[in-house]
Structures are given as structure tokens and as C-alpha cells.
Amino acid sequence: MNRTAVPFLMLVLMTSACATRAPVTLRPVTLAPGESLWRAARRSGVSLDALVRANPHMDPAHLRPGSVIRVAVREGWVPASWSAGSSQRQADEFIWPLRGQIESRFGQPRGARRHEGLDVKAAAGMPVRASEFGLVTLSGRMGSYGNVVIIRHPGQFVTVYAHNEQNLVQAGAWVARGQIIARVGQTGNATGPHLHFEVRRDKRPRDPLYYLPVGPPVPLRAPVARIR
Ligand SMILES: [Zn+2]
């Protein structure tokens, strides 16, 4: 073994020892304008579930840009880079599908079940936009959902847009983030015009407020011209 290899070996041994012993600390993270909890978790190098666990009293509906949350990290640990070339490609960013008042939140009891989405009240005919770019996997009528559009995104994400007066896209179409895909209605099991919006990941319904920018619905960006 030459002279340079010895310090290198020691460094490797010390690094691996530190990785197992480093204490977990809670680090404050300030939410940026337009940022979602999911995005804040990604830039902090933790999973969304870990972020939610580290903030047991957090209510996503009350967060605003500038709100401080916590992430649990190991000291000395460097977040993994989220390179564009990664095979584990993620959906990049979700936007509010329309502006309006939140009528009913995720998880609220619905008889024997729980509400699997977020209801946003809006006037009939208002445009509903794709929350993220993706492939329309269903556009049609489906029981209590009424007219519904379902879009698949990278990273095992699916978004659902229900009770539409009219669907404006067809299954098999690629849509851009912000593209108008439907008009607000009250088809299916709805008492008034609103959008029922769901975010599913790995087929499991998740609270859309974890993925949408914090604070009141933000102005929508102009639709991008090309699908990536
Ligand atoms: Zn609903």
C-alpha cells in the first residue's frame, strides 16, 4: 500500500462510521413563493412522508410562502442531486387546476369512506387546467364522478378532474401543464358546480395540498408550447 492510499482508506472508514452514528437533527426550511410541500421535501433531500412526519401539527391549508417547516436530516448528510438524467424521473411541479374556494378537503368523512380529493368551488363553465404535463388515460363519464379526465404523469403520479360540464381532451392525448382540459360542472354526484381534484401516487390517493403551491391558488403560468 502506498503512502497516499492510507489516508484515503482512513477517510473512507471514518465516513462510513459517521454515516451510521450521525444524529438526526431537525432543520428549518422556509417555504418559497409558489412552492409545494412536495417540492420543499425534494430540495431538502427528504421524502414527502418524512417531511409530514417531522411536522405532526402542520395544516397544509394554513401554510404560506415564508412559513417555516422542519425536515429531519442526519448531520453532515448531503441531499442527493435530482438530476434530469435520472431514470426515476418525477413530475416536476403541480399547479392549481383552477382558482376558487376550497369546499371540501381530502380525508373528510363521506359516509363509510373518506374524501379522496379536494373540492374547489367555481362557476359552471370555468376552465379546468392540467395540473402537470402528462398523458390523458381516460376522458369520459364514470358513475359518481360524472364527466372525468384522468392524466398520468411521470413518477407514478395520476391526477383526476371530476364533475366536469364538458371534457375538452381525449384519451391518448398529451397535455401540457396549464392546458385547458375541461369546464367546471356538476355532473355525477355533485350538489353544485365544483371541481373534484385528486392526486394519486402509486395508486394511493394523497392530499392534493401536499403537492399544490402553498397559500391561496396562485396565478397560472402560461401553457407551455411543447410537451417535454
Ligand atoms: Zn370531491
Determine, yes or no, domain membership for 96: no
C-alpha cell at 79: 441531499
85 in a domain, yes or no?
no
Q: 80 vs 183, which has greater pLDDT?
A: 183
Tell me the CATH number at 42.
3.10.350.10
The domain total for the chain is 2
- Cα three-residue angle 81-86-91, rounded to 5 degrees: 90
Ligand 1 centre distance from Cα of residue 191 (Å) = 10
Residues 62, 119, single domain; the answer is no
Distance CA 53, CA 55 (A): 5
Nearest to 205 by CA among 156, 136, 141: 156
Q: Which of 30, 58, 74 is the endpoint of a domain?
A: 74
Domain boundary among 25, 57, 74: 74
Task: Report pLDDT digits (tens) over 191-213.
Answer: 999 999 999 999 999 999 999 99
* Confidence band for 81, pLDDT divided at 50, 70 and 90: very low
- Which whole number is the average pLDDT over 74-92? 54
Give yes or no: residues 142 and 70 share one domain.
Answer: no
Residues near 73 by Cβ (< 8 Å), separated by ≥ 6? 24, 25, 27, 44, 45, 46
| CA neighbor of 212 nearest in space, from 44, 82, 31 | 31
> Does residue 186 sit within a domain?
yes
Please report, for the domain that includes residue 186, its CATH number.
Answer: 2.70.70.10
DSSP state of 226: S
Kindly give the distance from the C-alpha atom of residue 199 to the centroid of ligand 1, in angstroms, as a whole number.
12
Q: Which residue has the higher pLDDT, 69 or 221?
A: 69
Q: How far is the CA of 112 from the centre of ligand 1 (A)?
A: 15
Whether residue 159 is found in the same domain as residue 195: yes
Query: Residue 117 Cα, ligand 1 centroid: separation in angstroms?
Result: 5
Q: Is the pLDDT confidence value at 12 over 50?
A: no
**Which run of H or E residues covers position 19?**
helix 5-21
Residue 109 lies in a domain: yes
Taking the centre of ligand 1 as the mean of its atom positions, its distance from the CA of residue 188, in whole angstroms, is 11
Q: Is residue 222 part of a domain?
A: no
C-alpha cell at 19: 454515516
Whether 58 and 105 map to the same domain: the answer is no
Number of H helices, E strands in the chain: 3, 15
Domain span at residue 117 reads: 101-210
